[in-house]
Chain A
Amino acid sequence: MATNGNYIREKARDTKVMRQCDVVVVGGGPGGIGAAVAAARNGADTVLIERYGHLGGMGTGGLVTIIPQLADLTGKQQIAGITQEWIDRLAARNAVDMPKKEHWGSLDKELVQYYFKRSFFYARLDRVSYAALIDAEISKIILNEMMEEAGVKVILHAWGTEPIMDGKHCKGVIFESKSGRQAILAKVVIDSTGDGDLFPYADIECETDIPAHYRIANLAVCFWVAGVDHKKMMDFRDNNMKEFMDLMRKANEYGGQGGFMTSNLPDQESVVWFHSRYPNKSQTDVEELTRVEILGHKIAGKTIEFYRKNVPGFEKAFLVLTDPQLGTRSSRRMVGEYWLTEKDLSNNQPFEDTIATFPDLDRGDDSLAHPNMYIPYRSLLPKNVDNFFVACRAFSSDKHVQDYFNLIPHCIAFGEAAGTASAMALSAGVPIKKVDIKALQKQLAKQGVPLPDVTKKVDYKYEGPALVGRPFTPPH
């Protein structure tokens, strides 16, 4: 066999073209959903390929069933568009839980306390926060419906692995499936793999360093436990906080996991949710993914053993599910046409090409001074490829920006902008880098995306009360 040291020669071949289309989106997580729906609704013939059998990525398969940080500290909703549509469709099925609209941004201590107790995600900066806990299974169906209505051609169980490059142009992608290796050719390619899986093959400049103490440095193995006697558990926790905390510590010592969150969804009182952090060397290293996956399952098993024996309310509890997708938080980050960096975390002036606004809620006093983060269109564009978008957490950002702004609603917003821009560029017959930004912003606004007035000079100073609560790092 022709082996060259640690390499083996793979022969040239002709790979079957399954389809030709306008826009191909690789990855059906939040970024890919936003991208595919927006591209198709704006008239592009769109194909979405997804590795698993469901859409939603971390929001469904990762059991990260939380869409947080939708309103800023004043309670003004800043992320809407396709994210809000997803939530509205869940609400119509009674499959979502969130603070009431009239409470968003409220500083009322009792209210904040009430919501915080209900979910850790419902309070930020001493205020009630707009975050939605979602039903993963119903979400999978809703997302399928949204694709079908928009006319997206979805291919599930298909792993998009490589771009087909021709100099500065990306002609399509190769994917693997039970039908074998095939190609999809497209005029615009959108990388929504979360990890920028297409970058290495397209020579797209990226960074991968993540300091160990950052949230995004960790993998997660989320799992659900059902059969919990909710009332018994809550009574015990409320009346014996010290004992409860002691038990949580002992659960960790036992090799399990202390600390969990309640499901909060209608009729799902018996379900609790365990979220976790596993340090690792790299989230694109398959050996590390394997190691953490095995460790996570072991810990889930120990957790259920310990809780059943020791924690009131868990006597009949059982492990329903460990996440079908390993919880990844960050890996490759593009260095694109505009690179969002630490200095942008204190910039209150929107970019001329702003395509999304993200509430800044997790950085304590720094957040008070910088209530919103603005995302320029250019942060979705690589420098070296002319028809390629990055619409996922691999957007152009340094580790500081990435640590706070790579969550589910953020990725949907990247996707909505990229998908809309793709379709507009194609119908205008211009390259995506030359798309009319004002027209794009107008179209996004029409789709319900809140955008700032980019012409106005901003002179912002926080004038509210000083923070009482300590800022904390959220677990998502």
Chain B
Amino acid sequence: MKTVREPARDIKVWREVDVVVVGGGPGGVASAISAARTGAKTVLIERYGHLGGMATGGLVNIFPNLSDITGKQHIYGLTMELLNRLDKHGATSYPKKKDRGSADKKAVDYYLNANLGWFFVRKDLAGQQHVLYSAVVDPEILKAELNDMVLGAGSELLLHSWGTQVITENNAVRGVFFESKSGRQAILGKVIIDATGDGDMFVAAGAECDNACDNKRRTAWLALVWWMTNVNLRKFDKFKASQPEKYKELMDELVKLGGYPFSFRGILKNQPNTLWYHSMQPQPQRTDAMDVEQLTKIDIEARRRAVVTHDFMKKYVPGFEKAFIMLTSPQLGTQGGRRIIGEYTLSEKDMETDEVFEDTIAVIANNDYGDISNKHPSLCIPYRCLVPKSVDGLLVAGRAFSSADTVNETFNIIPHCIAYGQAAGTAAALAIKEGVEPRKIDYKALRDNLVKQGVNLPKIEKSVGSVASNDVKKDYFQKYRSQ
């Protein structure tokens, strides 16, 4: 391998703080807010000019799976705080409380036909569709609210700042180098939270990680979302209903030309005539989010696909006569990257054991794993999934949590990352208060703190090692099923 020698040099230290959060996506935002609220002097650095990551810049403006198909809500905490704030601006929409869990055909059809409706309905074992709680959000309003929440919590924020490498001392991470228009600088901290999504900090930290992913999984591919607007949806619907064969023929033709035929009704109800295209397509090989050449290739290809689709729809499909591409996502859609090897790694078996871990920091509805989901409608996430096995001073918040690719595929989306971030930020602040490494914090203190913040956690009365007794588990599942 050809290399160039870069000499040693002195890099300016921009700040010395308690907690440095790298990456302002869902995991990073939640980390910064909760670390700052728990009393740590916190800095959040973000590569782009906005917070929210995939939820805003990626145009993946959906918080799915907040409840299971019985309508039981599992995710609360910062996700709910955020949704409540958006609600005040009319910047979110979701199924009514009374409809969640409902299998009523009228309700199901109504939500299937709503904006991003696919996220509102899932099937049970018998194939019956149920409405569940997912929320569509307005990315632009979300950006402003996230700024407010982070700064309101007392965290400092640096946008347009790309955290590239950690600074290590012995076996611990103690800071981060970042690039910006102000040049290369450093921030020193007692705990660094990697919320880059891809575990960008793992490499320099020497943290053991895994990047393998079965090519069948959603998380194996990159994607680019775009919005097409000025579509006459009534005309489009009428055409589809009245000439289904012609429509199918046209879509087949579009696919042949390299276009993308699938779309959802986009964004919010008060933002009419807009379609949401998520141009994810199975690739012959994994598209690796850590390979800059593949990022480039997919970005360029997806844009081309958007234009082919636009040109074709406009020319041939009723309702699209005056359509235009309103927006391609400012951030390329990445779905999976490096995953830390943590103190505990969640694997497929955990989806079937209903294990209530002693260090559970989140309970997540399990809706997308077919039969398993139906039998085990939720999954407990242990704190140890956020703690690297081999390196101190580092926590992981976001989709890089310690998990097999099977678990990662289903439990790495926006509200999940917020939950991991809320736990990681709180844990970092507690570790600093206690003067211990993050892996050594008192699990009960962490859980109590999270519950105080409104996070929904199972009660763990007694514990054996790191695993709650079967009685406790039964109690918890009994309790929530009866609710």
**A residues neighboring B (CB under 8 Å):** 1, 3-4, 6-17, 20, 52-54, 61, 135, 137-138, 140-141, 144, 148, 154-159, 161-162, 164, 171-172, 174, 176-181, 183, 185, 195, 197, 200, 223, 226-227, 265, 267-268, 270, 283-287, 289-290, 293-294, 297-298, 300-301, 305, 316, 318-326, 331
29 sampled A-B residue pairs with Cβ under 8 A: A1-B188, A3-B188, A8-B10, A9-B11, A10-B8, A10-B186, A12-B6, A15-B4, A15-B5, A17-B1, A17-B3, A53-B332, A156-B295, A156-B300, A162-B184, A178-B290, A178-B291, A179-B292, A227-B272, A267-B323, A286-B158, A286-B159, A286-B180, A289-B181, A290-B159, A297-B50, A298-B147, A305-B89, A323-B49
Please tell me if B441 contacts chain A, counting CB pairs below 8 Å. no
**Chain A contacts for B437, CB-based, 8 A:** none
With A6-B12, A7-B11, A287-B158 in contact, do A178 and B295 touch (Cβ < 8 Å)?
A: yes
Least distance between A230 CB and chain B CB atoms (Å) = 12
**Chain A contacts for B330, CB-based, 8 A:** 52-53, 61, 324
Contact B50 A137 (CB under 8 A): no
Question: Which residue of A8, A15, A321, A323 contacts B11 across the interface (Cβ within 8 Å)?
Answer: A8
CB closest residue in chain B, given A136: B327
With A226-B229, A227-B272, A267-B230 in contact, do A320 and B326 touch (Cβ < 8 Å)?
A: yes
State A194–B267 Cα separation when bound (angstroms). 34
Q: Which of the 9-residue segments B93-101, B169-177, B278-286, B466-474 touches chain A?
A: B169-177
Please tell me if B312 contacts chain A, counting CB pairs below 8 Å. no
Please tell me if B167 contacts chain A, counting CB pairs below 8 Å. yes
Contact B159 A289 (CB under 8 A): yes
Contact A200 B179 (CB under 8 A): no
Please tell me if B141 contacts chain A, counting CB pairs below 8 Å. yes
Please tell me if B212 contacts chain A, counting CB pairs below 8 Å. no
Contact B140 A300 (CB under 8 A): yes
**Chain B contacts for A52, CB-based, 8 A:** 330
Contact A12 B271 (CB under 8 A): no
Apart from A1-B167, A297-B143: 10 A-B pairs, beta carbons within 8 A:
A1-B169, A1-B174, A7-B13, A158-B292, A200-B183, A267-B230, A297-B50, A316-B270, A318-B268, A320-B326
With A156-B299, A156-B300, A179-B292 in contact, do A298 and B144 touch (Cβ < 8 Å)?
A: yes
Please tell me if B7 contacts chain A, counting CB pairs below 8 Å. yes
**Chain B contacts for A174, CB-based, 8 A:** 6
Least distance between B226 CB and chain A CB atoms (Å) = 8
Contact A14 B3 (CB under 8 A): yes
Contact A286 B181 (CB under 8 A): yes
Least distance between B321 CB and chain A CB atoms (Å) = 8
Least distance between B131 CB and chain A CB atoms (Å) = 26
Contact A164 B8 (CB under 8 A): no
- In chain B, positions 1-54 with a C-beta closer than 8 Å to chain A are 1-13, 48-50
CB closest residue in chain A, given B59: A321
A-B pairs, top 10 by smallest CB distance, nearest first, are: A324-B330, A14-B3, A7-B10, A177-B292, A286-B180, A319-B140, A17-B2, A12-B8, A156-B296, A179-B292
Cβ proximity bits B131-154 to A, threshold 8 Å, 1 near / 0 not? 000000010110110011001000
Question: Which residue of B10, B169, B227, B306 contacts A10 across the interface (Cβ within 8 Å)?
Answer: B10
**Chain B contacts for A61, CB-based, 8 A:** 330
Contact B13 A325 (CB under 8 A): no
State A174–B158 Cα separation when bound (angstroms). 23
Interface size on B, residues (CB 8 A): 83
CB closest residue in chain A, given B168: A1
State A283–B306 Cα separation when bound (angstroms). 33
CB closest residue in chain B, given A175: B292
**Chain A contacts for B216, CB-based, 8 A:** none
**Chain A contacts for B292, CB-based, 8 A:** 155-158, 177-179
**Chain A contacts for B198, CB-based, 8 A:** 178
Contact B8 A9 (CB under 8 A): yes
**Chain A contacts for B324, CB-based, 8 A:** 135, 137, 265, 267-268
Contact B160 A326 (CB under 8 A): yes
State A295–B296 Cα separation when bound (angstroms). 31
Contact A318 B160 (CB under 8 A): no
Contact A293 B13 (CB under 8 A): no
With A141-B306, A155-B296, A318-B138 in contact, do A161 and B179 touch (Cβ < 8 Å)?
A: yes
Contact B3 A15 (CB under 8 A): yes
State A1–B226 Cα separation when bound (angstroms). 46
Least distance between A171 CB and chain B CB atoms (Å) = 7
Contact B8 A294 (CB under 8 A): no
State A298–B10 Cα separation when bound (angstroms). 37
- In chain B, positions 305-343 with a C-beta closer than 8 Å to chain A are 306-307, 322-328, 330-332, 337
State A260–B65 Cα separation when bound (angstroms). 39
Q: Which of B13, B198, B326 has the most CB of A within 10 A?
A: B326
Please tell me if B162 contacts chain A, counting CB pairs below 8 Å. yes
Least distance between B319 CB and chain A CB atoms (Å) = 13
Please tell me if B57 contacts chain A, counting CB pairs below 8 Å. yes
State A167–B18 Cα separation when bound (angstroms). 40
Least distance between A268 CB and chain B CB atoms (Å) = 6
**Chain B contacts for A267, CB-based, 8 A:** 230, 322-324
Cβ proximity bits B392-412 to A, threshold 8 Å, 1 near / 0 not? 000000000000000000000
**Chain B contacts for A154, CB-based, 8 A:** 296, 300
CB closest residue in chain A, given B290: A178
Contact B291 A179 (CB under 8 A): yes
Contact A137 B162 (CB under 8 A): no
**Chain A contacts for B169, CB-based, 8 A:** 1
Least distance between A93 CB and chain B CB atoms (Å) = 8
Contact B188 A8 (CB under 8 A): yes
Least distance between A20 CB and chain B CB atoms (Å) = 8
State A195–B160 Cα separation when bound (angstroms). 14
Please tell me if B165 contacts chain A, counting CB pairs below 8 Å. yes
Contact B327 A176 (CB under 8 A): no
Contact A293 B159 (CB under 8 A): yes
CB closest residue in chain A, given B314: A267
State A172–B3 Cα separation when bound (angstroms). 12
State A185–B203 Cα separation when bound (angstroms). 24
Least distance between B23 CB and chain A CB atoms (Å) = 12
**Chain A contacts for B144, CB-based, 8 A:** 297-298, 300-301
**Chain A contacts for B140, CB-based, 8 A:** 223, 297, 300-301, 319-322
Q: Which of B143, B181, B230 has the most CB of A within 10 A?
A: B181
Contact A144 B303 (CB under 8 A): yes
